[in-house]
Amino acid sequence: MTFWRSGHGADATALHAATLTLDTHVDIRWPEPPDPLAEGPMRVDFPKMARGGLRAAVFVAYVPQGRRDAAGHAAAADRAEAMLRHIRARADGARRRFCATAAELEAAHAAGATGVLSAVENGYAMGHDLGAPARWRALGACYLTLTHDGHNDLADSARPKRELGDAESEHGGLSALGRRAIAALNAAGMLVDVSHVSKAGMMQAAELSRSPVVATHTACRALCDHPRNLDDEQLDLLRAVGGLVQITAVPAFLRRVPEGTTNPASVEDMAEHVDHAVRRIGIEHVGLSSDFDGGGGVRGWQNAAESAGLTAALAARGYDARAIGLLWSGNFLRVWRRAEALAAP
Ligand SMILES: [Zn+2]
């Protein structure tokens, strides 16, 4: 047993080192983000990524849901754009390369550089401006999360915000503007992220989008009944449209525990959710993310420096090099390429 364990561990270490590991959802602190070059208080910074063999991450320009008036929309748009510019400026073009396309990410990885990607979280940031996706794409953003917590003018959220006056449902899924926003995202070559969106909105977006939709940070409702998770009907639709579910490291999405108790969720729980999704819709439609610095962090994967722990948990369940490559980045690269290819010239 001891021999098998040590041998197996060595295999997982080599496997991790050989894999293009991409975390598809990482928050940054805003305003006043700490220097990512220094080992600091965040779960993700460049020293931790290097130590943990995390080769690339999508850093998100997260915009909290606020009042849906002209001033609120203008402030949200300004914040998203400033954050996208900041994220791009974190890359130096050499050891850390900003990657605006799947090909650029693969080239960065081949050159031994860390991949820095960006995205926008919360369609609130576009207000009613259908030109926003093309501008964000020009800054290199790879996806837009249609909502956050709280409904916006594009879609209903899986978690309405009562303090903002949200009813359970406002649009019955997507609004008319939300439908046009998806067309604008498709035309710009940006992926549509359906995390945080209500079930009706998610299903409508998956059907409507010309390029496959991605849930960049979520988990399986069949294993943990949380409103942010996707049920089996939603997983089936993701497979049908060629999309992706990225299982994320948020304890409350992975395990239900009595209120007031510490959630013991670990990389084993993440692997359980991966197993469920893979059995249900196939290895080609499942991936991984942390939601670090936005609520993510489980035993065995508390920060970017511990990224090998997740690979080891998956390898221990029999996922081989090909499967682990697909989970960590291969599937995301495939759908990202599809979105790029379908963009209006
Ligand atoms: Zn989120």
**Residue-range domain boundaries for the chain:** 18-342
Q: Indicate whether 4 pLDDT > 80.
A: no
For all residues of the chain together, what is the average pLDDT? 96
Binned at pLDDT 50, 70 and 90, residue 344 comes out as confident
- The CA 291 to ligand 1 mean position distance, Å, reads 7
- What is the four-CA torsion angle of 212, 215, 219, 221, rounded to 10 degrees? -70
User: Would you state the pLDDT for residue 224?
Assistant: 98
- The CA 186 to ligand 1 mean position distance, Å, reads 21
- Please list the helix, strand and coil fractions of the chain in percent, rounded to the nearest 5, in that order: 45, 15, 40
User: Would you state the pLDDT for residue 93?
Assistant: 87
- The CA 148 to ligand 1 mean position distance, Å, reads 6
C-alpha pair distances (Å), 123 with each of 39, 236, 238, 289? 32, 25, 21, 20
Give domain 18-342's CATH number out of 3.40.50.300, 3.30.365.10, 3.30.70.340, 3.20.20.140: 3.20.20.140
Averaged over 17-40, what is the pLDDT?
A: 96
Q: Indicate whether 248 pLDDT > 60.
A: yes
Helical (H) or strand (E) element with 281:
helix 267-281
- The CA 250 to ligand 1 mean position distance, Å, reads 10
- The CA 2 to ligand 1 mean position distance, Å, reads 40
Q: Based on the number of CB atoms within 10 Å of its own CB, is 97 exposed (0-12), middle (13-18) or buried (19 or more)?
A: buried
Averaged over 147-167, what is the pLDDT?
A: 97
| Residue whose pair of structure tokens reads 């399986």 in the numeric block | 220
- The CA 280 to ligand 1 mean position distance, Å, reads 24
- The CA 217 to ligand 1 mean position distance, Å, reads 7
Give this prediction's pTM.
Answer: 0.96
> Which of 168, 221, 169 has its CA nearest to residue 195?
221
- The CA 173 to ligand 1 mean position distance, Å, reads 18
| Six token digits for residue 83 | 């954050």
**HSE toward the beta carbon, residue 145, CA cutoff 13 A:** 33
Averaged over 19-25, what is the pLDDT?
A: 98
- The CA 294 to ligand 1 mean position distance, Å, reads 7
| Residue whose pair of structure tokens reads 């997982």 in the numeric block | 12
- The CA 150 to ligand 1 mean position distance, Å, reads 12
Q: Indicate whether 310 pLDDT > 80.
A: yes
- The CA 238 to ligand 1 mean position distance, Å, reads 19
| Six token digits for residue 40 | 């600091």
- The CA 131 to ligand 1 mean position distance, Å, reads 23
- The CA 296 to ligand 1 mean position distance, Å, reads 10
Contacts of 98 (CB under 8 A, 6+ apart): 87, 88, 90, 91, 104, 116, 117, 118, 140
- The CA 201 to ligand 1 mean position distance, Å, reads 16
- The CA 166 to ligand 1 mean position distance, Å, reads 18
| Six token digits for residue 254 | 């992975």
- As a whole number of angstroms, the distance between CA 297 and CA 249 comes to 5
Averaged over 275-304, what is the pLDDT?
A: 98
User: Would you state the pLDDT for residue 299?
Assistant: 98
- Looking at residue 130, the DSSP 8-state letter turns out to be T
Binned at pLDDT 50, 70 and 90, residue 320 comes out as very high
End-to-end CA distance of the chain: 57
- Looking at residue 113, the DSSP 8-state letter turns out to be P
